[in-house]
Structure 1
Amino acid sequence: MSASQSSQPPVIVTAAILVIGDEILSGRTKDKNIGYIAEYLTNIGIELREVRVVPDVTDEIVAALNALRVRYTYVFTTGGIGPTHDDITADAVAAAFGVSIDYDPRAVAMMRERFAAEDLNEARMRMTRIPAGAELIANSISKAPGFNIGNVYVMAGVPAIMQAMLDVVAPTLRTGTKILSDTVQAGLREGDIGGPLAEVAKAHPDVSIGSYPFWSETGPDTNIVVRSRDAEKLQVAMAEVKKMIREYGQRAR
């Protein structure tokens, strides 16, 4: 990296996820979308800052959505855009933006690609109701589209469908400087190196340093992860972490 590159301030693009559904909060359905979206966004240079889970209650969805969309560059919602009575996400998004909602001819055309006229019943037609002014997100799996309005992207809760929608959305997003990371296995217990690791973190305030305990074949161990948007700062901080591990390990023996 040249001096001119390293002197450029990082471009930071942020995001939040709003997971919608009583079934997630009850534990009946295990969320499989948060981790996928988080990793996907990290890889393209968008930093996930917050995740909220709300029930199928219009006021709860509206309040959370309005709080998140003014705080972050993008908001991604999952769940609640299906054919049943409790799929109220589209209505809640319309309420949050203060716009009307109705059957969208574009969405109806998409659904007709899959369903015969006699099968496009009232329940399935619910999935063609789109807030005014929204753009559709294509769904290559079941045809029922998601949509985006403002900086909010409304996607399905079914993981395979959500992933297909995210692939459609990603090329349209503004991205920032990617966060780089490096990991070292300490071979030591987290509690033993907490103090020395804190000193390293204090000496490198522009770098994120985290410790993650786990149980290895030989007993308790710790992975230390160093993150930064600056490759040089990452390298320097990781070198200090490894030095700390070596020195503490020698004293411990």
Structure 2
Amino acid sequence: MAASPITAAVLVIGDEILSGSIRDRNIGVIADLLVELGIDLREVRIVRDEQDDIVSAVNALRRRYSYLFTTGGLGPTHDDVTADSIAAAFGVGIDIDDRARSMLLERHKPDQLNAARLRMARVPAGADLIAAPTTKAPGFRLENVFVMAGIPEIMVAMLEQVRPLLKSSAPPLSRTVDADRIPEGVYADLLRKIAMTHGSVTIGSYPSMTREGFRNSIVVRGRDAGSVDAAAAAVETMLVTLRDDGSRSPLAAKA
């Protein structure tokens, strides 16, 4: 029996993302690492800087997936409520952590460690710290939840600290079959039947606009090479048949 896949979700926290004032740059970086490690990223959510919303999302995602990665809301201001929200989600206390305070003292003199900066040393009980080499304000891990900064450069540094803690598996295999300019509406039903027959893989159709015009690509993904090859071969056979039919009735002209 094949091993269960290792799965993950990403929770982006911040009003600034939802308002469009800042564009997220972290999701893609996390996704790239997860692909490299053979971890399936199954879901991404963005929530406001509101504790109830964060708690609800954290509890749903941490129970559903092997790992949950959060970004944002670890700063010194009143709207940085991520640490408190994680503590509430797990039902544990939160207070200034001596380890985190020591990290902050590597950057700030004792008289500069005011109440606002000490907010960044507040860590839920039982959490392990994730070092931030530049700012010295740590993230943390609680069970399967990794809580990281929202600033991309800091998040990347934290993610490197997290990498060794993650279980990995063989990355999924993929085969891309060029459907050329055959419209999706022509092959959609046939592709559905192929997907039903080859249930151990996922098959997606992805249209795009190029300089040459509208094109479609069909991507087959899976973890077993034989299954991926068999499904891709079925897709190729389908497209050959449709192209042969199209020589008598041009497919590219169809809507």
User: When the two structures are superposed, what TM-score results if normalisation uses the length of structure 1?
Assistant: 0.92
Contact 1:210 1:224 survives alignment (8 Å): yes
Aligned length in residues: 246
Which consecutive unaligned segments of at least 5 residues does structure 1 have?
1-7
136, 145, 150: which one pairs with 1:143? 136
Pairing 1:1-253 to 2, within 5 Å after superposition? 8-188=1-181, 189-253=183-247
Deviation at 1:27, TM superposition (A): 1.5
Structure 1 stretch displaced more, 242-251 or 201-210 = 242-251
- What amino acid maps onto 1:128 in structure 2? A
How far apart in 2 are the matches of 1:250 and 1:141?
60
* Residues in 2 aligned to 1:124 and 1:240: alpha-carbon distance in whole angstroms: 59
Task: Structure 2: state its 5+ residue gaps.
Answer: 248-255
Q: Tell me the distance in 1 between the aligned counterparts of 2:175 and 2:134.
A: 36
CA contact (8 A) 1:56 1:86 kept: yes
**Using the alignment, how far apart are the partners of 2:81 and 2:154 within structure 1?**
18
Could you list the structure 1 runs, at least 4 aligned residues long, displaced by more than 4 angstroms after superposition.
none
Q: What TM-score, normalized to structure 2?
A: 0.91
Work out whether residues 12 and 177 of structure 1, in 8 Å CA contact, stay in contact via their aligned partners in 2.
Answer: no
- Give, in whole Å, the separation in 1 of the partners of 2:237 and 2:200: 19
Shift of 1:229: 1.1
| 1:143-202 deviation line (CA, Å, top 9, x unaligned) | 111000111110111111111111111111122343211212221232332233222222
What SS does the aligned partner of 1:225 have?
strand
CA RMSD of aligned residues (A): 1.5
